[in-house]
Structure 1
């Protein structure tokens, strides 16, 4: 199961952990909480999907998309992604999996969840599970531990169902051999290229055609919303000299925050980790752990016993060496025992959900408070940073008031001899290369009217006071404005149609006659490739879409049934020769291929199984999904 979670490191669930912004987005009424029947959005085989479940998952997915796309995530993109429908289907899948799990008596134990969560890298510090980090990340995600565990549990359940259903499905050696033979078969092709530019010379256009094409494709020429900002930037750095911090203030802070400068007690540990065998009873497990403990006659024996008996692959070869640890890095149920032991004491065996542990406390470094002189600079820097932002905001608010009183940024800048910056017009999804124009600033600017002053905003390195200098709404330009583009596009479209028809005629003739004479007749040259394998992803001079079609050819002398159309040219393709795959390396790659084919077969089988499950399910939707 843990391998499954690691393989799914790029899935939406793990990405949620890495998200930075949580967006509260409530459908069907802001701030309302439904109970009972009113909270039911749909039913899957009689089991409800609630509005709350939908909202929670939708918020998580929306947050993930905002982290991924930033300001480029607009309403149009959200509509194309059909996020509400995706979220609903995921909830349906989750319900169906829970129902199947119940029928198959599949459960996820607390121990499995604990072990899985403890091994997620985002919750670890120096390779160990960090409970404080776990709580902090969940707090930032606005998830309770129970909600997060439910997400993990859903993944676990699907993984266990897959494991039960798909384990019998295996690729055979013969299938791997056939696949290897096919993928490594060598092909040699020829291709002739009919450039669209040649056909463009033959295209004649009249005003009626141009107008008709423009009317049918107006939306294609619609301009994007464009804005320009004028701003004054107040850098933090310029204000540092105005902030005075006395030695008395530094000492006062030190005395009030001594805990911050106290280095916690550290202990250097070695450990032996013992896991339970499959058929082993709890009583036998404890007995085996005690027998291993008895083999340690003194601290000097610990490393040898750890190397021989420990089940921890990371420390086994180092004699069980864990290094220096603080109380926060130890599981709560072990913390008091380990941090009250004496130096040189051997502790254990101690039981945890993962197994038995035996510890050696090698050395102890007592907690100590750093002297004032050692941390004086650090405190000064901290107080300066804290006061700097507050000071800068106070100053910015005074400037803002002055700007409003004198009638705007420009009159104020002229009066105070300050420098303003005005950006060129830009589309919000293509901002200028200006570190002060952040996604947050753009988002705030989009809510303003042209000429309106925005709110004071913090940006990298300081405070920004800005106004929306200009706003050009999206519009459909007149034919006169875009006539050159329209003519170019229409000419290209007609040229493609003309070339495609011409290429079909050439192909018919090439099949009946000597293709060399036919190509010469139409002024086409052709090229022959070197031998390449079907698995190759690149052939020099050949576009990917043409190569993809060419790989479908099987018999030497065979032409592709239809010419391959690209944006720039039409291609005619013929298979000249094939060479059988060299099977010498098959034995080396056999295991890898069988694993690959097994995964492919299992994936296809599971998709078919789920499709059948979904089609048979009775799904009642009581409310329309929200439109973006």
Structure 2
């Protein structure tokens, strides 16, 4: 029977039918099985196959698309960088709670998306960054230099002190990625150009001044007329977003802080000596060598004859350098093809392992002091090398590092105490994950409550982004279980549980009627002020002068001569209105009205427009402005390219992970 079944279900016809039946399943299979976004990713950038650039994203072939994911860790690092920059810019005006808005988070994420789009586009274009380019870029960073030269010790120290700390290999990869993603946009920006006519037109507009006369109306009396139920209902229905209550939660939590735990005892001598023996290699200074070299460069595409000639030249110079009394520095100045060290007599300073190319590095660290080594072949050509000094490589004694070991051991013991207590608390919670009271009582910790609060008005631990991600997550709200420990700081964490939740909702009219009435009355007041200003504008357009109507209208008249574009006078918004007004006709000013920041209205006259004059620019400023204008054109071209590439790619945002 089984053989008959096998015979009936074999053959190309059955295979074809089965294949056709499988196609619909491609559209319904959970994307997590097909390489979908991971739980720890906030965004994905996908590019269609090169052989089908117009492939629709819904087609099953999208499984073959290239993609780059942006993890929550990457997003949090970038958002923290933006937070620090904003805090420095705003100083005391920085509002930590307001900064945590979804708008700010999406803006930071958009930067990361742009970077991934540029990187993926560069990869698809075949852009490759060489090791030499990475090394040269790192060596050119002023923060890694001492007296204008790259310093490996400073380099490692700065990386270790960074936020986050990075190893040289990690930083080199970061630089490589940055160079790769920026090459095409930078080339587009630098290749952008503008005509002389465009530049002169921009200068005339940028340098334009306007003579304006402003007449400020008195503050409009507040409308206090009653608001009917029908009027209130109409306003409420027309502005539902103004009367929404954000999503809110109430939580209970237990806080575990290492600072409140019993202090760890200082380690005894035997423990410290044991730690020293186990970690002795940590206290050995890296070996460094003071090296000089003469480079006879060989192009990468040089033929065998050119290679042989360069090697012969290098051998001849090496022989000269080995002669008694030879001046290596003079030979380097006369013969070296390395522009970075030639004028310094070939001096490379103190060299450390892991910085130079391998062949060169091996030769340096195998050489004896004052020994002439070479020619040594590398990707740059042939080197003649001399080591002029050595240092490092010696270990520190126990006595020299005892205090450091004691501090590290004390911290390790404190960390262990905290970890033990944290583990015990988690174990107790796991016995009954729907409540905190039992575990807290056994640990002698208080159960605290907080809320109700929204994302915008959270305070205390609830203002922490990590806490908010948990308490506003669907899992925490629906399950009502205790969270995993959420780290607030080193050795400081909380376990939280959502006890109440209310979804974002429009509040009923009866609860916000006072706010609705106030909004209607404020709108009436504004409309009355605008209507009064418009009536004055009509009188001015018919030929009346501002001086003539000012007394009766109680206007505060202020001349604003030679007002510059972009000047916040009287406000930035008002300045934009003044410069958007038509150019006045001969003998007839341009008239308009503007709402000021105080809620008052003003009428204005644009009496004169003076274009910017290139001939009046100070010497040197014209070139500066030309450079700035070219930069603006380059940025616009760069942005246009990026937007065009984004349209070709598929970008998925997981906003719930922010």
Would you say same fold, with TM above 0.5? yes
Question: Could you say what secondary structure the match of 2:211 adopts?
Answer: strand
Query: Does the aligned pair in 1 maintain the 2:254–2:495 contact within 8 Å?
Result: yes
Question: RMSD of the TM alignment (CA)?
Answer: 5.5
Deviation at 1:337, TM superposition (A): 0.8
Q: How does 1:424-573 map to 2 (within 5 A)?
A: 425-433=452-460, 438-446=464-472, 447-448=475-476, 453-468=482-497, 470-473=499-502, 474-512=504-542, 513-534=544-565, 537-540=566-569, 542-552=570-580, 554-555=583-584, 559=589, 562-565=592-595, 568-573=599-604
Q: Determine if contact 2:261/2:418 at 8 Å carries over to the other structure.
A: yes
Q: Which among 398, 403, 422 is matched to residue 396 of structure 1?
A: 422
Distance in 2, Cα, partners of 1:405 & 1:614: 52
Measure how far apart 1:475 and its partner are.
3.5
User: What is the CA–CA distance in structure 2 between the aligned matches of 1:443 and 1:128, rounded to whole Å?
Assistant: 42
Change in Cα spacing, 1:356 to 1:471, as seen in structure 2 (3 Å) is farther
- Give the equivalent residue in structure 1 for 2:272: 250
Aligned residue in 2 for 1:46:
52
Q: Distance in 2 between matches of 1:587 and 1:488?
A: 57
Task: Give the deviation of 1:189 after TM superposition.
Answer: 1.4
SS of equivalent residue, structure 2 residue 350:
strand
Structure-2 residue corresponding to 1:329: 355
Deviation per CA, 1:532-559: give whole Å up to 9, x if none.
Answer: 433xx3244x111111232345448665
Shift of 1:234: 3.6
1:379 is displaced (CA, Å) by 2.4
> Does structure 1 residue 67 correspond to structure 2 residue 77?
yes
- Superposed displacement of residue 309, structure 1: 7.6
**Residue 595 of structure 1: which of 613, 622, 627 is its match?**
627
Residues 53 and 390 (structure 1 numbering): CA distance in 2 closer, same or farther, change over 3 Å?
farther
- CA apart distance, 1:487: 2.1
Describe the shift of the 1:518–1:370 C-alpha distance in structure 2 as closer, same or farther (beyond 3 A): same
Contact 1:177/1:590 (8 A) holds in 2:
no
Distance in 1 between residues matched to 2:325 and 2:468, nearest whole Å: 64
The answer on whether the counterparts of 1:274 and 1:289 sit within 8 Å (CA) in structure 2 is: yes
Q: 1:207 aligns with which of 219, 222, 229?
A: 229
CA distance in 2, matches of 1:625, 1:417: 46
Whether the 8 Å contact between 2:255 and 2:445 is mirrored in structure 1 is no
Moved more, 477-486 or 405-414: 405-414
Please give the alpha-carbon distance, in whole angstroms, between the structure 2 residues aligned to 1:250 and 1:210. 77
User: What's the counterpart of residue 191 of structure 1?
Assistant: 214
Secondary structure of the 1:344 match is coil
> Given that residues 483 and 497 in structure 2 are in contact (C-alpha distance below 8 angstroms), is that contact kept between their aligned partners in structure 1?
yes
Partner of 1:32: 34
Matched ranges for 1:597-616 at <5 A: 597-602=629-634
| Aligned positions of 1:101-500 closer than 5 A | 110=130, 114=134, 127=150, 152-153=179-180, 155-157=182-184, 159-160=186-187, 166=191, 169=193, 171-172=195-196, 176=199, 179-194=202-217, 198=220, 200-201=222-223, 205-239=227-261, 241-243=263-265, 245-270=267-292, 301=327, 321-347=347-373, 352-353=378-379, 359-399=385-425, 421-423=448-450, 425-433=452-460, 438-446=464-472, 447-448=475-476, 453-468=482-497, 470-473=499-502, 474-500=504-530
Please state how far the C-alpha of 1:209 moved relative to its aligned partner. 0.9
Bigger mean CA deviation after superposition, 43-52 or 219-228: 43-52
Moved more, 179-188 or 49-58: 49-58
SS of residue paired to 1:443 = helix
The number of residue pairs the alignment matches comes to 576
Shift of 1:269: 3.1
In 1, Cα distance between equivalents of 2:204 and 2:359: 58
Find the residue that maps to 2:34 and give its secondary structure. Answer: coil
Tell me by how many angstroms 1:298 deviates: 8.2
- C-alpha displacement at 1:56, in angstroms? 4.0
CA distance in 2, matches of 1:242, 1:614: 57
Whole-angstrom CA distance in 2 between matches of 1:396 and 1:94: 42
Instruction: Give the conservation status (yes or no) of the 8 Å contact 1:84–1:625.
Output: no
In 1, Cα distance between equivalents of 2:362 and 2:380: 19
* Residues 487/424 of structure 1: CA separation in 2 closer, same or farther (3 Å cut): same
Q: 1:92 to 1:114 in 2, by over 3 A?
A: closer
CA 1:66/1:114 → structure 2, altered by over 3 Å: closer, same or farther?
A: closer
Which deviations, in whole Å up to 9, do the C-alpha atoms of 1:497-522 show, x marking residues without a partner? 44333323221211221122233333
Contact 1:299 1:360 in 2 (8 A): no
Task: Name the SS for the 1:564 alignment partner.
Answer: strand
Q: TM-score, normalised by structure 2?
A: 0.68
Distance in 2 (alpha carbons) for counterparts of 1:73 and 1:55: 34
Q: Deviations over 1:543-583 (max 9, x none)?
A: 11111232345448665565334562434332234556483
Offset from partner CA, 1:402-425 (integer Å, 9 cap, x none): 688899656777788755654454
From the superposition, tell whether residues 212 and 240 of structure 1 become closer, same or farther in structure 2 (CA, over 3 Å).
same
Tell me, in whole angstroms, the C-alpha distance in 1 between the residues paired with 2:629 and 2:563: 23
Say which SS state the counterpart of residue 210 (structure 1) adopts: helix
Question: Which region of structure 1 is more displaced relative to structure 2, 487-496 or 400-409?
Answer: 400-409
Q: 1:341 deviation in Å?
A: 1.2
1:277/1:501 CA distance change after superposition, 3 Å: farther
Whether the aligned pair in 2 keeps the contact of 1:456 and 1:466 (CA below 8 Å) is yes
Which moved further from structure 2: 377-386 or 466-475? 466-475
Contact 1:191 1:528 in 2 (8 A): yes
Q: How far 1:67 sits from its partner (Å)?
A: 3.5
Once the two structures are overlaid, the 10-residue window that deviates more, 450-459 or 209-218, is 450-459
SS at match of 1:329: coil
What is the CA-CA distance between 1:466 and the residue it aligns to? 3.8
